Structure 1
Amino acid sequence: MGTMKKRPVLIGLTGNIACGKSTVARMLAEMGAAVIDADAVAHAVIRKGTPTYEAIVRRFGPEILGPDGEIDRRRLGDRVFRDPAALRDLEAIVHPAVLAAIQERLAAGVEAPAVVIEAIKLIESGFARACDTLWVVTCPEREQVRRLMAERGLSEEEAWVRIRAQPPPEEKIRLADEVIDNGGDLEATRRQVEAAWRRRVGDP
């Protein structure tokens, strides 16, 4: 009789904007995890021609489109980050499509000791409940502002609008199995990630 293949450990990885989820996800990938980036999945499900695209344009109007007819994420972001009701509407359209795409990928089978689902709205979308372990990446707010300005070209005001549009990190930390503090240097972050991996997955 063949031995049962061990199911990968499903790690939910979240944290507020510009805290360094992608940095931690990269480290986990180097340790052998398969990483599913929910933001990249969201890009795919809102492409022109998809039902999600049609629903977003119906709700927000053609002014959120770029010259190529695709959704301009910056224009859409400017709309929803200043209007909590609009943000909720957008999430109600996008989350189910993203979750369905992720579940499809998991159902196809993944050869890895762990699968990381990296998502800013992992908890709010309800998908954290399906994960075996929830990891939250944190860093000081002033560092988030610096990174948003440096890496995304936002003004300081735009950076604060995006940070304030999110729930306080304490809400995520309260639910976390592992908290990775990414406010220091990369080596310090790596040591925390390796220790968490040993606790939750086993020896790398």
Structure 2
Amino acid sequence: MGKRPILIGLTGNIACGKSTVARMLAEKGAYIIDADAIAHEVIRKGTPAYEAILRRFGEGILGPDGEIDRRRLGAIVFRDLNALRDLEAIVHPAVLVEIQRRIQACPEAPAIVIEAIKLIESGFARACDTLWVVTCSESEQVRRLMIERGLTEEEARVRIRAQPPQEEKIRHAHVIIDNSGDLEATRRQVEQAWREWIDPDATG
């Protein structure tokens, strides 16, 4: 049996490029656990979290298929911090249980990456061996949200400002990856961090 995988916590604010960095780490052989994808799964119709969200926010957040419409829900919680906290209190515990299950079931890998926007706030960062924070400029966040998610500029800025400033995440970071530039610039930073934390003998 090989040595225990290094547990990397990968975080960053909305549209900073966590998923881009996670894909690069997957190419290096890391096992990726996407907490945002898990959060989608744990609120599906019929789950305990689904029922709790419905009780808190009402049926107006449902789409025609009876599933939670995340854009409708987002329009509520990103304008009301109390509502956002209520939603997180419902969803986070279910997500953390599933993350733990996946860590236990992980195939052999040099590293396990937990990709999560609320990694620090949820307390899960403390369980990680190293915390990597992906950053980018606010103007680039806005541009990506408008292009990739079809948000208006106002909707994009509301979502960005509903989150703690990037500086708060950076304060906790062992590795900071600036994803404001092109992909090759980001890849060079990922390669450097991989050599430092996972594989000192790697050549690129």
How far off its partner does 1:111 sit? 1.3
Number of the residue aligned with 2:24:
27
Note if 1:60 corresponds to 2:69.
Answer: no
For 2:96 and 2:124, the matched residues in 1 are separated by 7
Number of the residue aligned with 2:135:
138
TM superposition score normalised by structure 1: 0.97
For 1:57 and 1:109, the matched residues in 2 are separated by 33
Number of the residue aligned with 1:36:
33
2:163 to 166, 187, 191: 166
Number of the residue aligned with 1:154:
151
Number of the residue aligned with 1:95:
92
Q: CA RMSD for the aligned pairs? A: 0.8
Q: Which amino acid aligns with 1:64?
A: I
For 2:112 and 2:79, the matched residues in 1 are separated by 34
Note if 1:125 corresponds to 2:113.
Answer: no
How far off its partner does 1:107 sit? 1.3
How far off its partner does 1:105 sit? 1.0
For 1:135 and 1:114, the matched residues in 2 are separated by 13
Number of the residue aligned with 1:192:
189
Q: Which amino acid aligns with 1:83?
A: D
Note if 1:108 corresponds to 2:105.
Answer: yes
Q: Which amino acid aligns with 1:173?
A: I
Corresponding residue SS for 1:53: helix
Superposed, which structure 2 residues align to 1:77-96 within 5 Å? 77-96=74-93
How far off its partner does 1:108 sit? 1.9
1:126-165 CA-to-partner distances (Å, cap 9, x unmatched) read 1101110000000000000000001000000000000000
Q: Which amino acid aligns with 2:98?
A: A
How far off its partner does 1:169 sit? 0.4
Note if 1:70 corresponds to 2:84.
Answer: no
Q: Which stretches of structure 1, 4 residues or longer, exceed 6 Å deviation after superposition? A: none
Q: Structure 1: which 5+ runs fail to align? A: none
TM superposition score normalised by structure 2: 0.97
Corresponding residue SS for 1:175: coil
For 2:89 and 2:66, the matched residues in 1 are separated by 22
Q: Which amino acid aligns with 1:76?
A: L
Task: Indicate the percent of aligned positions where both proteins have the same amino acid.
Answer: 80
**Total equivalences in the alignment:** 201
Say if 1:8 and 1:110, in contact at 8 Å, map to a contact too.
no
Q: Which amino acid aligns with 1:48?
A: K
